[in-house]
Chains A and B, each alone.
Chain A
Amino acid sequence: MNTITANPSYKLELAASPHVHSRWSTKQAMWLVLAAILPMVISAVVFFGLYQLLIIIVSVGFCVGTEAAVKAVRKRKISIGDGSAVITGLLLALILPPNFSLSSTAIGAIVSIGIGKEIFGGLGYNIFNPALVGRAFLQAAFPVPMTTWSQPNYAVDSISSATPLSAIKFDKVSTELSNLFLGNVGGSLGETSAIAVLLGGIFLIVIGVVNWRVPVSMTLGVIIFGGIFWLLDPAIYPNPLFHIFAGGFLVGALFMATDWVTSPLYGKGMWIFGAGIALVLVLIRLFGGLPEGVMYSILFMNAFVPLINRYTKPRIFGKEK
C-alpha cells in the first residue's frame, strides 16, 4: 500500500484555512518599492553629481545601523531583511538638498529610525512617516544648509541656488514646466525630475503596492485648491500644474503619503487624507513663510490618521445605510 498512513516519514503541515496564499509578501513589496526608487537615485546622480551617492549610502547605512542597534538593545529579532530601513534611508536622502553634509545626513538617519520608527515599536507601529520625521528634524536643526540648493549640472539659466518654489515665492520668477518635468531645476536629490518620480510611482500603483486614492486625491486637491487662488489672481498665484511639478509634491504624493503604515486604512479615509494634505500644502506654499510645504502637510495629516480611520469605517455588508 502506498498510503500516507503506511508511511510515517511524511511530514504534513497543519494550519487553519486558507491553505493557499497570494504572491504578496512584505519583503517582496519592500523590494518593489526599492526598485521604484531607483530612477530617482539615477536622476539625482545625473543632475547633481556622484557625491549624492555618498549621501544616499550614509543615509541608508545609518538607518539600517540604527535599526539593528535598537533591536539589539531591545533584544528583538533583527529585521533588516524586510528592507524597510533601506527604504527609509533612501527616501530621506532623496529629500535632502544636493551636496548636503554627510554628518548631518547621519544625524537625520538616526532620528528617522530612532525617533520616527523604533520608539513607537518598530515597523508597523509608527504614526509619522520616518523619513519625513528625520527631515523635519534636520530642517529645524540646520535651517541654512537645508535650504542651500546647488544648481543642477545642465542648468540653462542662472537663478542661482534657488528651487523653482523659492524662485516664484521670493523672486516671482516662474520656471518652465518642461524643465520641471525633466529635472533640470534646483531642488532636493530625488524631487528634481518629475519623470523619474512618476516612473517609479506609477509602477507602484500599477502593480498594486500603492493605493491610487492618495496620490489622486492629493493631485485633485492641489488642482482645486491651487486652482481657486490661481483663478482669483493669476499674477500672484502660480497655476496648479506648477504646484504639482515643482518641489516635492510628486515624491510626497507617490512615496511619502502612500506609506502603508502612516496612511488611512479605508478608501474614504484615503480621499480625506489626500485632500487634507493638498489643502495644507497649498496654504503653506501660498501663505506660509516657507516656499515648500509637502513635508509638513503630510506629517500634519499623519497625525489625523487614527481619527480618520475611526470615522470612515465602511458600512458592513447588509447593514442598513
Chain B
Amino acid sequence: MSFLNKIKTFQGGVHPEEYKELTENLPFEIMPDPKRVIVPLSQHIGAPASVKVKKKDEVKKGQLLADQEGFISSPIYSPVSGKVVDVHLEPTASGFPQNSIVIDSIESEEEIRFEQLDPKTITAEEIRERVRLAGIVGQGGAAFPTYVKLTPPADKNIDCVILNGCECEPYLTRDYRFMLERSEDLITGLKLIMKALGVSKGAIGIEDNKPKAIEKLTKLCMNEENISVVSLKTKYPQGAEKMLIKAVLNREVPPGKLPLDVGVVIQNIGTALAINDAVCKGEPQITAALTVSGFGIKQPKNLIVKVGTPLSDVLDYCGGVKDNAAKVVVGGPMMGVAQYDFSAPVMKATSGILILTESEINAHEETPCLRCGKCIEVCPLNLTPTKLARYSQLEKLEEAEQLGITVCMECGTCAFVCPANIPLVQWIRLGKKRVLQIQRERKAS
C-alpha cells in the first residue's frame, strides 16, 4: 500500500522525544586543543593500526602515528603537535581498554597536510587512495573504513549513493548543523563518492523534522540533475541503512546481506564532509564533530574537537555537568554506550556525548512479559524481540537462530517501548553473539 503513504518511510519504528531543540540552533564551536590527547590504535572496524612512533618522539599535527594494517583497517594521524608520552592501554568509550598513543600537546602552528586535489579533475582511483590515506572511517557509528566501502567487489552493480541525513537518534544535531553550515562542501563530497563508485544517481535522505536543511539542500541541488533530496518521515530508526534504503528506493536488503547487494552505498553526512576535506583541503581525519547535550550538561553545544580529547575535557568545556546527572552516554540515547571512565577519548566516529538525567531516562521496574506485542509492532525488521530475548535467556540458541536473532541490528526500538521494561536488547545482543560464535564454529568444521 505504499501509494497511500505520501511521506516516505518504513514499517514499525517509534518516535522518542527528540530534544533536538537543546542544540539545533547552536553553530559548531571549535574547541581548543587539549593539553593531552589519547589516540587509540583501533578507532575503526578491522585490524588495529600499527604504531609508527615511540616514546619521547616529537610529532607534528597531521603526522602519521600508526599505519593501516591489512585491507580492513585505517591509518591514524596526530591530532596535535607535541611529544609522545607513552603507548599503552587506556580506557575507551566502548568499555574495552585499548592500546593508545598518549601525546602531550605543545602550541605550534606547524601542520602536515596532503597535497590539495581538484575535485573536478580527480580520478576515481585518486579519490579512493586519498580516502584511504586520510584515514577516513564511517561517521554513522560503526566506523567502517570508508575506502573499503568505495571499493566494492567487481561483481556488485552499484547504481545509487545515498547520503544519510536522517540523524534519527534523539538529541544529536551534528549532521543537521553540517547540512546547514557546509551544504556546498557536502554536495562536493557526495559527488566525489559518486565519482569514486562510478555511479550517476545520488540522493540525500533527510527526516522531515529538519525542514531548513531540506530546503537549503533542495535549493542547492536544483541544477544537479543526478542528485535528489528526499524528505523522510521522522521516525526512529529511519537512519538505519536497511530502513533508509527501503524508504528512499523501496528496496529491501536481505538478512545477512549488505546495501551493496541491492546496488546501494550509504555514507553519513560527516563522512562525505571528511572526504571533501581530505580531497580539497588535504586534511587527514584528526577531528570529530559532536553534539554535547542532555539536561545534565550546563551548556549544550555542537563542537569540533580533536580526536583523542578526553571526555572530561569536553564536558569541562561545556561548563561541566549538573548535580542531577544520572547517565553519561557516548553516541545517541538509543544505541550509544554508557560511560564510567571519563578519561576515555573522543574517537573518529564519536557523534555525541549525552548527560542524561532521571527524567529523560524514564526507567521503571522490570515486570514479567505480558505478551502485549508492542515490541513486535515496532520492530523495523519484523522480528519477535520478546521471544528472542527469552530464548537467549534460556540459552535456547537454536530456536533463537531460527527466529532470526542474527538479523537484529540492536536499534533498541523494542526495549524503548517495552511496558515491562525488559532489557530486550541486552539479552538479544548476548544471544546473537553466542549464535554467531556457533555459526563460525559450524563453518570452520
Please give the residue numbers on chain A whose beta carbons come within 8 Å of chain B beta carbons, in ascending order. 1-6, 10, 12-29, 79, 82, 122-125, 211, 260-261, 263-267, 313-320
Contacts and interface: CB of A to CB of B under 8 A. Distances in A.
B368 A5 contact: no
Interface in B371-396: 371-374, 376-377, 380-384, 386
Nearest to B171: A20
Contact of A21 (B315, B320, B321, B362): B362
B412 interface: yes
Nearest to A2: B320
Interface string B308-336: 00001001100111000111110001111
B368 A122 contact: yes
A3 B338 contact: no
Interface of B is mostly: loop
11 contacts: A2-B316, A2-B320, A3-B316, A4-B328, A17-B425, A25-B419, A124-B371, A265-B373, A267-B377, A317-B246, A319-B254
Interface string B331-364: 0011111111111000000000010100011111
Nearest to B419: A24
Given A17-B412, A18-B333, A123-B368, A320 B254 contact: yes
B440 to A, nearest CB: 21
Given A3-B316, A28-B419, A20 B362 contact: yes
A60 to B, nearest CB: 20
Nearest to B19: A20
A15 B416 CA distance: 13
B325 A316 contact: no
Interface of B: 14, 16-17, 170, 242, 246, 252-255, 257, 312, 315-316, 319-321, 325-329, 333-343, 354, 356, 360-365, 367-374, 376-377, 380-384, 386, 403-404, 407, 410, 412-413, 415-421, 423, 425-426, 429
A29 B316 contact: no
B419 to A, nearest CB: 4
Nearest to B236: A18
Nearest to A305: B371
Given A4-B342, A123-B370, A318-B253, A16 B334 contact: no
Nearest to B261: A318
Contacts, number: 180
Sorted nearest first, the 6 A-B pairs with minimum C-beta distance are A18-B412, A2-B320, A124-B368, A16-B426, A260-B372, A317-B381
Given A265-B384, A317-B382, A13 B326 contact: yes
B16 A13 contact: no
A13 B16 CA distance: 20
A18 B338 contact: no
Contacts of B343: 5
A17 B334 contact: yes
B410 A17 contact: yes
Contacts of B382: 314-317
A10 B371 contact: no
B360 A24 contact: no
B337 A17 contact: yes
B320 A19 contact: no
A46 B56 CA distance: 88
Contact of B338 (A13, A82, A122, A263): A13
A126 to B, nearest CB: 10
Given A3-B320, A211-B373, A19 B338 contact: yes
Contacts of A3: 312, 315-316, 320-321, 342
A19 B334 contact: yes
A32 B385 CA distance: 25
Contacts of B367: 25-27, 79, 82, 123-124
B404 A316 contact: yes
A264 to B, nearest CB: 8
A284 B418 CA distance: 37
B361 A19 contact: yes
A265 B377 CA distance: 9
Contacts of B246: 317
Nearest to B420: A26
Contacts of B369: 124
Given A12-B328, A260-B373, A319-B254, A18 B425 contact: yes
Contact of A17 (B336, B407, B417): B336
A93 B356 CA distance: 45
Nearest to A79: B367
Among the interface residues A6, A12, A320, which one has the most CB atoms of the partner chain B within 10 A? Answer: A12
A318 B368 contact: no
A52 to B, nearest CB: 29
B420 A18 contact: no
Given A12-B325, A17-B334, A316-B382, A24 B418 contact: yes
A90 to B, nearest CB: 17
Nearest to A9: B323
Contacts of B418: 24
Contact of B242 (A261, A315, A317): A317
A19 B294 CA distance: 12
Contacts of B365: 25, 27
A15 B316 CA distance: 24
B16 A27 contact: no
Nearest to B418: A24
Contacts of B329: 17, 19
B13 to A, nearest CB: 12
Given A3-B315, A265-B373, A18 B404 contact: no
A214 B154 CA distance: 51
A260 B375 CA distance: 13
Among the interface residues A29, A316, A319, which one has the most CB atoms of the partner chain B within 10 A? Answer: A316
A29 B364 CA distance: 13
Contact of A19 (B17, B356, B403): B356
A303 to B, nearest CB: 15
Contact of A4 (B255, B312, B371): B312
A14 B423 CA distance: 13
Contacts of A14: 327, 338, 340
Contact of B170 (A20, A27, A211, A263): A20
